[in-house]
Amino acid sequence: MLLQLILATGNENKVREVNEILADDFAGAPIRVRSMKSVGISSDPEENGTDFEENALIKARAAAALLPPAADETARAEWMRAQGMDPADALVVISDDSGLVIDALGGAPGIQSARYLGRDVGYDVKMAHILEELRGLPQEQRSARFVAAIAAVLPDGSGLAVRGTMEGRISKEPRGEGGFGYDPILFLPEYGLTSAELSPEEKNAISHRGKGMRLMLKTLRERLAL
């Protein structure tokens, strides 16, 4: 029996990172990851939760609601076979809600990270605004962290969420070409690099999403006896 994970996101960067984490830490494990697009569903619910965990569960539940219900065993089995899955596999929808939390800004941009200054505003503009807000602030007052809440909806319809964080400080200027989002401005003192300057392997080993995803996969395997 496989653990079939449907990742409820339209962000292909997140799909790539999850697959990299699986390759690095769960090679050979009975786990397969699929994007919503690959199974023919699309979901973009309003993220009106009060924290990362609530928003992650909102997204996971919205995507799970588009699948044939587990109570209709025949429809569920037919759908899974059409997707190349064994109906005996454990079908789980997972999602993440992540963002940058800056202490000097009262936790902003926080759960609004993707929508900060507007959903269609580029991250270069968002980062420039943050750096201007923190202009002149000494390093010891620039503490910040990436947070990722990973949520799952299990075959029985129950939900759970876990959290991973990556601590750092806001740099004085963007550095690095790797990663995405706010990676160029989260400086990691123990490495002397920003998140965007890490290799994918280095980032996945210590990142908020990597920590959260590893904890979630461990939890799912224990809960589902895989």
Known catalytic residues are: 97
CB 87 within 8 A of CB 81: yes
> H/E element holding 55?
helix 52-64
- Return d(Cα 177, Cα 186) in angstroms, integer: 13
CB 49 within 8 A of CB 66: no
How many C-beta neighbours within 10 Å does residue 218 have?
Answer: 13
Which candidate, 191, 165, 44, places its Cα nearest to that of 110?
165
